[in-house]
Amino acid sequence: MILIMLVYFFRLPQRIPSKNLNNKIIIAPCDGIVKEISTTNNNMLKITIVLSIFDVHVQWYPVHGKIRNIIYKKGQFNLAHCLEKSKYNERLSTIIQNEYGVIRLDQIAGQVARRIVNWSIINTKVQRGNLMGMIKLSSRVDMYLPKHKIKCLVKENDRIKGKLSKIAIWK
């Protein structure tokens, strides 16, 4: 039974995004529920996506561009869906830049998830929809988008599918 659960948990579905997506569309980096949308002090739109145990736990690049930086922050392992406590959790940030702007994706470990995998390499080009990494077991992904450069297409409590759902569009 445990083996079946692990196989289900570590699945990687074949998802083919719509062919009509132009380069300005920002897609969902993962499956989950949009738990919160807020504005940060530096005028970034923060979209918090919480993954349940039943969601696919891999992450995809939401935009094309160049990996500008990867930042690992050691931290605690609080429940990922408890937004106030989980700001102290272990995380790995990937910063991507393209001709429209810069975005940041934070893979955040939860109480059960103690391993973040990320295949990004600084100064390499990536394509929207390519595999970025995985957070093993329970987790959360935060997206930071330049508020004045995008139009948000999701709202709180929306269920999203990685690689398929549209999150935002560059203006």
- pLDDT for the residue 139: 81
Residue 129 has pLDDT above 60, yes or no: yes
Confidence (pLDDT) at 82: 61
What's the N-to-C CA distance of the chain in angstroms? 48
Which one, of 60, 71, 78, lies nearest residue 161 by Cα?
A: 60
Quick check: is 14 in a domain? no
| Number of structural domains found in the chain | 1
Q: Is residue 67 part of a domain?
A: yes
pLDDT over 80 at 137, yes or no: no
Q: Provide the sign of the torsion angle of the four alpha carbons 29, 106, 144, 97, taken in this order.
A: negative
| pLDDT tens digits, one per residue of 147-164 | 999 999 999 999 999 999
Write the pLDDT tens digit of every residue in 3-32.
766 666 666 778 777 777 899 999 999 999
Domain annotation covers residue 8: no
Q: Is residue 68 part of a domain?
A: yes
Question: Quick check: 107 pLDDT over 80?
Answer: yes
- Tell whether 43 is covered by a domain: yes
pLDDT for position 12: 73
Average pLDDT over residues 34-45: 96
In the prediction, which pLDDT does 144 show? 98
**44-102 pLDDT tens trace:** 999 999 988 788 889 999 999 999 999 999 876 666 556 665 677 889 999 999 999 99
Does residue 2 lie in a domain region? no
> What pLDDT was estimated at residue 8?
64
Domain extent for 131: 23-170
The residues annotated with a catalytic role in the active site are 139
Does residue 47 contact residue 155 with C-beta atoms inside 8 Å?
Answer: no
SS3 call for 44: strand
Residue 3 falls inside a structural domain: no
Tokens of 87: 């700001």
Give the CATH number of the domain where residue 117 resides: 2.70.70.10
C-beta neighbour count of 59 within 10 angstroms: 28
Residue 16 lies in a domain: no
